[in-house]
């Protein structure tokens, strides 16, 4: 592994030349609904307007090279935007409230074409700092949705999709991407999206006082200038299915069945204490929680809701307890922390808390760097990976990445492996000591072309 990592690193200074730019608008705009201004819900205001990027890699298509891949992508995207019309709009600041709003004027999505100077197998998949910004991901703030299609010398392809967080969350983006892939294959779409953004506060609004300790009103300037005392490393790892199963078995002691994410979290939380300053008495871990199932119960009425329905659960523990505690005991702390927000009452309180602090943007204090050392984990076990075929084959890798330069916490995003064998792909933003601690054993395997069977 060390030899291959070194070999790949020598190829990390590759060049990308941008060859074409396209603006793709929704097909048949006469059918788009009115009015054309979409106001954000309270929970949308908690997103922070961060760019969210997903990237997928594909081997050389089996058909003839003259097949117009970009034409099919543009054509199917135009049809997809008919159903997801806010994604083809503009996000502007409301002059009265200073809050973002979506102008659904069909300005279009930006599609960039580029060519990389290396074959896909030479790409440094592990060190995302080398591969992302300005190369595989290009950011234009004028477009809430932008796509970059990059061609490699071997005939392989990567597609990066960058969304403004005001458009939605991972659940919303997953539905968009899956719909697009189905349309590209001339298959029925999986759902009709709901763009109502109808998450309204109660009258009068009321909330548990603990929310004042966890969330805070902030400005875009504060978000852009989050204090980041250390260099942030962006890394990509493979977690083998055998390690996942072992951790779950280890965490499920005393007759308690813990989920794979709870077990994995307990392991990471315990490792964290090796990588924080000695004067820290406690450290925190957080989990992104989707509220759709919590808000609608068993009737599944929010399953197709497009927007943000996210909250953050946080657990705090003494460093000594984590250092000397067993994985089952730490998994108990994880389970208890997540359970605090996996209910309708929490999300109703959160909507009301935001209502009491409007207008403006809100964010977790910990994400703003106000809570001491912390790591936030996002699980994407339902996010489409292997099934994202746009007509030229299934991907060998699909995951989330970030172009964020400043953030107050470490971050991990878990996605299923494109191989479908139960392994995970984990994209991470880490401070150097934490990266070193995580890579000290065999569970966190730096992602290489061999994991993707690229030879």
Domains assigned to the chain:
16-185 (3.30.559.10), 209-452 (3.30.559.10)
Whole-number Å distance between alpha carbons of 400 and 426: 9
Give the H/E segment covering residue 274.
none
Query: Residue 190: helix, strand or coil by DSSP?
Result: coil
Whole-number Å distance between alpha carbons of 59 and 386: 13
Residues 6+ apart with CB under 8 A from 7: none
Residue 66: what pLDDT? 52
pLDDT tens readout for residues 119-173 = 999 999 999 988 887 899 988 989 999 999 999 999 999 999 999 999 999 999 9
The pTM of this model reads 0.93
DSSP string, 326-356: -HHHHHHHHHHHHHTTSSHHHHHHHHHHHHH
Burial of 179 (0-12, 13-18, 19+ CB in 10 A): buried
**In the block, which residue shows the tokens 């977690």?**
239
Query: Residue 39: helix, strand or coil by DSSP?
Result: strand
Q: For residues 264-290, b (16+ Cβ closer than 10 Å) or e, as one string?
A: bbbbbbbbbbebbeeeeebbbbbbbbb
**In the block, which residue shows the tokens 């709901």?**
194
Cβ atoms of 313 and 289 within 8 Å: the answer is yes
Query: Residue 115: helix, strand or coil by DSSP?
Result: strand
Give the H/E segment covering residue 206.
none
Whole-number Å distance between alpha carbons of 219 and 229: 20
Whole-number Å distance between alpha carbons of 290 and 309: 6
Residue 402 backbone class (left: φ over 0; alpha: ψ -120 to 50; beta: rest): beta
Along the chain (455 residues), what's the average pLDDT of each consecutive run of 10 residues?
36 86 89 78 88 95 74 97 96 90 95 96 92 85 96 96 96 97 96 93 96 90 78 94 97 90 97 90 95 79 93 95 96 96 96 94 88 91 94 95 84 95 96 95 94 83
Q: Measuring CA to CA, which residue among 231, 228, 241, 443 is closest to residue 327?
A: 443
Sheet holding 282-290, edge to edge: 310-318, 282-290, 374-379, 410-416, 424-430, 233-239, 445-446
Cβ atoms of 414 and 217 within 8 Å: the answer is no
């Amino acid at each position: 592994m060390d030899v291959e990592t070194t070999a790949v690193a020598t190829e990390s200074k590759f060049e990308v030349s941008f060859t074409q730019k396209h603006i793709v608008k929704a097909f048949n705009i006469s059918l788009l609904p009115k009015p054309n201004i979409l106001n954000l819900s309270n929970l949308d205001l908690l997103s922070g307007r961060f760019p969210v990027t997903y990237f997928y890699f594909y081997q050389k298509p089996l058909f003839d090279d003259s097949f117009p891949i970009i034409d099919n992508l543009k054509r199917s995207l135009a049809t997809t935007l008919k159903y997801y019309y806010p994604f083809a709009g503009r996000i502007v600041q409301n002059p009265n409230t200073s809050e973002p709003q979506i102008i659904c004027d069909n300005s279009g999505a930006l599609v960039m074409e580029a060519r990389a100077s290396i074959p896909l197998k030479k790409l440094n998949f592990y060190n995302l700092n080398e591969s992302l910004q300005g190369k595989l991901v290009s950011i234009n703030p004028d477009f809430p949705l932008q796509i970059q299609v990059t061609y490699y010398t071997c005939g392989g392809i990567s597609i990066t999709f960058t969304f403004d967080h005001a458009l939605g969350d991972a659940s919303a983006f997953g539905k968009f991407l899956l719909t697009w892939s189905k349309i590209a294959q001339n298959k029925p779409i999986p759902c009709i999206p709901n763009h109502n953004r109808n998450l309204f506060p109660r009258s009068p609004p009321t909330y548990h006082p603990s929310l004042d300790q966890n969330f805070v009103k902030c400005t875009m300037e504060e978000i852009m200038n989050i204090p980041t005392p250390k260099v942030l490393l962006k890394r990509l790892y493979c977690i083998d299915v055998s390690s996942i199963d072992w951790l779950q078995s280890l965490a499920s002691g005393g007759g308690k069945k813990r989920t794979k994410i709870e077990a994995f979290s307990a392991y990471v939380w315990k490792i964290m204490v090796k990588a924080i300053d000695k004067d820290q008495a406690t450290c925190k871990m957080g989990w992104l929680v989707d509220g759709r199932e919590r808000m609608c119960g068993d009737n599944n009425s929010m399953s197709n809701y497009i927007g943000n329905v996210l909250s953050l659960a946080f657990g705090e523990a003494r460093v000594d307890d984590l250092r000397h505690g067993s994985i089952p005991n730490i998994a108990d702390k994880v389970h208890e922390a997540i359970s605090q927000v996996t209910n309708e009452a929490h999300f109703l309180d959160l909507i009301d808390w935001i209502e009491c602090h409007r207008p403006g943007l809100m964010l977790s204090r910990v994400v703003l760097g106000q809570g001491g050392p912390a790591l936030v984990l996002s699980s994407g076990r339902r996010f489409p990976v292997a099934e994202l075929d746009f007509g030229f084959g299934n991907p060998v890798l699909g995951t989330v990445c970030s172009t964020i330069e400043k953030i107050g916490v470490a971050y991990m995003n878990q996605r299923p492996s494109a191989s479908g064998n139960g392994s995970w792909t984990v994209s991470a933003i880490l401070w150097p000591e934490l990266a070193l601690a995580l890579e000290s054993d065999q569970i966190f395997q730096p992602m290489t072309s061999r994991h993707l069977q690229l030879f």
